[in-house]
Amino acid sequence: MEHSPPPFFKRGPAPIVRLFFFASLSLALLIVDARFRYVEGLRSTLALIAYPLQRIAVAPFQLASAVGNYFTLQSTLMQENEKLRSRNLALSQDAQRYEAAESEAAQLRRLIGAADQLPVRSVPAEVLYGSRDPYVQKVFIDRGAQQGVKPGSPVADENGVVGQVTRVHPLLSEVTLLTDQDQAIPVQVVRNGLRAVAFGSGPAGMLELRFMAANAEIQTGDRLVTSGIDGTYPAGLPVGTVVRIERDAEHSFARIVCSPAGGVDRGRYVLVLSNEAKAVPTRPDEAQPKDRRSDKGKRQKARPAPAAEAAPREGDGSR
């Protein structure tokens, strides 16, 4: 029986021979590839076969990098979101302040224009706060006795009459609005000159023309202005507009409801009117004729009379 070693222990060619063989093969392949470009297709095929293996080998590193980038990006986004939320809140507050300032500036411009058109003197004032009693329609303004405000002075804005000063303190005043139940104002219909008295309706914020005959010549949409017959409100100031008329044959008087024209429940700036008319400036050339007449009168008074001069002369001659 012949015993032979297992294939694992079989020895082939010598290592020197194998090294020489593979070195020669590599050199030959390099020369052939450099000369004839025959190995490009083989290289592409081997690269295509090795690509999945490369992706599998690199996948764990890419997954770890993606997870790290995800958490880093989430943290960065949360920080940026917090900064943007804070900035948005600050910009929203600035925008609200800008809108409020723009609204106040527009109201002041309208108020200045209304003050220039009024025939009486006016003092601008700011509304500080309103009455806490919901059944009392009153506001307080930042002008008082030191600024020349007097009890009974009418108060208006750029749209019309707001109310009347009922109490004056040194630095602030109390204004009763037209819509107060105890407030009344004489009015006149612009369309036909019909006179009436408008009363406040209280918390409803409307005006009522009371004691008007059921057949009175008044229509929905008629504009009401101050008549000026009370001596308190200047004539021609807008008061309100008729919005509803209820006529009942069983009653002698009609129920006429009006909406106020002035900002009785809005706005921050008002005008306190006085009964003094604006002083009209005189031109310098208008005063010159008067001065000339006065100078002429003075020269006539200073000139001596002829009779008075002749009397002493005659006396001297008689002597």
Angle at CA of residue 200, ends 198 and 202, nearest 5°: 165
Q: Element (H or E) spanning 22, and its range?
A: helix 15-36
pLDDT of residue 57: 86
Which residues, other chains included, contact 244 with Cβ-Cβ below 8 Å and sequence gap of 6+? 220, 256, 257
List pLDDT tens digits, range 226-245: 998 888 888 889 999 999 99
Please report, for residues 51, 66, 69, 181, the alpha-carbon distance to residue 60 in angstroms, rounded to integers and kept in the order given.
Answer: 15, 10, 14, 84
- 272 CB-contact burial (10 Å; exposed 0-12 / middle 13-18 / buried 19+): buried
Decide the pairing of beta strands 207-213 and 195-200: antiparallel
Q: What is the mean pLDDT for each group of 10 consecutive residues in the chain (319 residues)?
A: 57 79 85 74 80 86 86 87 87 78 70 67 87 87 90 89 93 93 92 92 89 89 91 89 87 90 85 69 49 50 45 40
pLDDT of residue 256: 92
Q: Tell me the pTM.
A: 0.56
Query: What type of residue is 210?
Result: R
pLDDT of residue 16: 86
Decide the pairing of beta strands 207-213 and 161-168: unpaired
pLDDT of residue 316: 44
pLDDT of residue 98: 73
